[in-house]
Amino acid sequence: MSTGPITPDEAQAALRTADRGRRQVIDQVGLPTWYWWGLAIGWIVLGVIADLKNGWVTTAATLVFGAVHSAVAPRVIDGRHGNDRLRVGRDVVGRRITVLVLVGLVLLAVLTVGVSLALHADGARHPTTAASILVAVIIVLGGPRLLAEARDRLARSSE
């Protein structure tokens, strides 16, 4: 290591190294794949149960689903646990990922109800199951894409 003044080239190289490191950390922001699949499968199961038209069973299943999600979500939806190699600091991620996921879940619930009602009005035999399958596909395909967009915004905002 040099003890003299830092040249402009050395300073630029150090800044590039720091920027690469920051981008590598931001690339780790995300949710584990199992979260998306678990959420999608749970959503479908709830849809199937709702189509059984037993209010008590539907209510109980919804409460169980909510309780399980409430136990799991705080550990992963902050975006800091995208994989086992690195835990991203709270100061890097902030609350953006958590808010995005929670708002997304509310919108998906509204979509499920809306599609289910439309299918029911059209005479579908299992409208909630069909609506839940549609939403499950959106969860599995759209969830990771939503986080990729959030990572891009995070990278741009920290430049």
Q: What is the pLDDT of residues 47-102, one digit of tens each?
A: 999 999 999 999 999 999 999 998 888 777 765 554 555 555 555 556 677 788 88
Instruction: Please state the pTM of the whole predicted model.
Output: 0.74
Q: How many helices (H) and strands (E) does the chain have?
A: 6, 0
**3 domain residue, yes or no:** no
- Give tens-digit pLDDT for 96-126: 777 888 888 999 999 999 999 999 999 999 9
**40 domain residue, yes or no:** yes
**6 domain residue, yes or no:** no
Is-contact 155 23, C-beta < 8 A?
A: yes
**102 domain residue, yes or no:** yes
Distances from the Cα of 28 to the Cα of 31, 55, 71, angstroms? 9, 42, 23
**17 domain residue, yes or no:** no
- H/E segment holding residue 78: none
Range of the domain at 53: 30-157
Structurally, how many domains does the chain consist of? 1
**11 domain residue, yes or no:** no
**62 domain residue, yes or no:** yes
What would the two tokens of residue 42 be?
Answer: 């749970």
**16 domain residue, yes or no:** no
